[in-house]
Amino acid sequence: MFKAVLFDLDGTLLDINMEEFLQHYFRMMVHMAREAGYSETDQLIELVWRSTGAMITNRNPQLLNEEVFMEHFYRYWPVPRQEFDPFFERFYAEGFPKLKQYTRPFPGIPEMMEQLFARGMKVVIATNAVFPLTALQQRLDWAGVGNFDYELITSFEVMHFCKPHTEYYQEIVDKLGVTPQDCLMVGNDVGEDLVAGCIGMKTFLVEDLIIDKGQSFTPNWRGRLNDLYDFFNSW
């Protein structure tokens, strides 16, 4: 039926309230920054938000998302990059793992993924490309699906665009060497995930932790995770 299945991560494969999670994420970052002797913690959080926004709005195909973030961040951050980059690395190695307690795995997700790989399906983790790979790999581990050989994980190191731009989905298609019509996008965010339909992908809206801000996209299929499992079993 399809050659590739794309999955959003947060709220689709992993039970997580991202708004609450980000509060703990930034609280941990501030705590570690203060421990490391940095006093500009309010400026740090503001800059991370602003630089993330610069990534999301970027449409320049010549720049990786990581390059956009770092160029914007260090344009305003007073600490030199060669000194502060190790802080980010330490945060994701030591602080980020402690945030697992604010997430839960969804029952049935590992079995579903096993089934798709057994069929020889190309599987993509199509999460918004604003995090480094380590943060995505850890959340995949928390979801119980970190051990699969994914065709692509859309980290900020490898992607040039973010959701909700259609270029993000076109870049995935180009990397896979398939057509949009070969792909199914599965996600819980109406505005960020269903936009994949604009380039010809089929879409499945997962409603367990649905995010709907009123965008006028209509999925090809919709339902809760159990309905998704039944959908895959019906192929």
Contact 116, 123 (CB under 8 A): yes
How far apart CA 107 and CA 117 sit, in angstroms, is: 18
Work out the end-to-end distance of the chain between its first and last CA atoms, rounded to an integer number of angstroms.
7
How far apart CA 208 and CA 69 sit, in angstroms, is: 32
Q: How far is CA 100 from the centre of its chain?
A: 16
List, for residues 170-196, the tens digit of each pLDDT value.
999 999 999 999 999 999 999 999 999
How far apart CA 65 and CA 167 sit, in angstroms, is: 13
Residue 55 pLDDT more than 90?
yes
pLDDT number for residue 219: 98
- CATH homologous superfamily, domain 4-16+104-233: HAD superfamily/HAD-like (3.40.50.1000)
pTM of the model: 0.97
Q: Where are the domains of the chain?
A: 4-16+104-233, 19-100
Strands 14-15 and 104-105: antiparallel
Range of lowest pLDDT (36-40, 44-48, 223-227)? 36-40
- CB neighbours of 36 closer than 8 A, spacing ≥ 6? 87, 90
Split at pLDDT 50, 70, 90, the class of 40 is confident
94: which 2 tokens? 């030591």
pLDDT number for residue 235: 86
